[in-house]
Amino acid sequence: MTPGKSLVVSALLGNAKDIEEMLEASSKQAEKPDDNLFTRISDLSSLIDDIMQTSANVAEHFETRMLQLSSEKNFLTKSVATLRQHAQQHADSKMESELVLQRRLREVMSQRDDLTQNWKATRNDNDKLIQRIQQLTEENYKYKTYMSQNFDPSACQRSIKSNSTDRKCLEELNLQQTQNP
């Protein structure tokens, strides 16, 4: 049995004589007159107290740090949630904007198609009018040529006096023009 265990056993059993003998034997073994088992236990006790105080300080520091980290974690979690919410709102807004733009693009394309069709129809109408104007210009030229060659002032005066013959004269003129191109 070691001297420390023997001292504890003797102290528990109440043998003071054994305790004194152990303390003396301990001081002889240490080769220092003041260094005995009691002083060693006292030193160990203060060392244990220092260790306990240091452990308590370390535990308090770690607890404080854990609270700080927990607080930072909560803040970061809220920040991430807020960022996700903002990102989702941005994505929703972007999607809505894209839908509005696509709808507007379809409307503009439809208007463009309508305007293109109207322009083509107007162009066709204009082409027909130009052809008709050219045809009428040619007929007018033929009429003027015919009238200049066959001008009879007395016939014109008679035509003016009676409106009923005007139409007949024009029909004859048209008939002659179609026969003599």
Cβ neighbours around 173 below 10 Å, total: 15
pLDDT for 38: 64
- When the pLDDT of each residue in the chain is averaged and rounded to a whole number, the result is 78
Residues 6+ apart with CB under 8 A from 9: 1
- Output the six-digit token pair for 91: 């994505």
* 8 vs 111, higher pLDDT: 111
Question: Distance between CA atoms of 162 and 158, rounded to whole angstroms?
Answer: 6
pLDDT digits (tens, 9 = 90+) for 120-171: 999 999 999 999 999 999 988 888 887 777 655 555 545 545 555 555 566 6
Residue 171 and residue 122: Cα distance in Å, rounded? 33
Handedness of CA 29, 34, 35, 36 (dihedral sign): positive
Residue with tokens 């152990």: 22
Angstrom distance (rounded) from CA 33 to CA 23: 11
Residue 49: both structure tokens together:
């107290």
Q: Which pLDDT does position 27 carry in this prediction?
A: 57
Predicted TM-score (pTM) above 0.85 = no
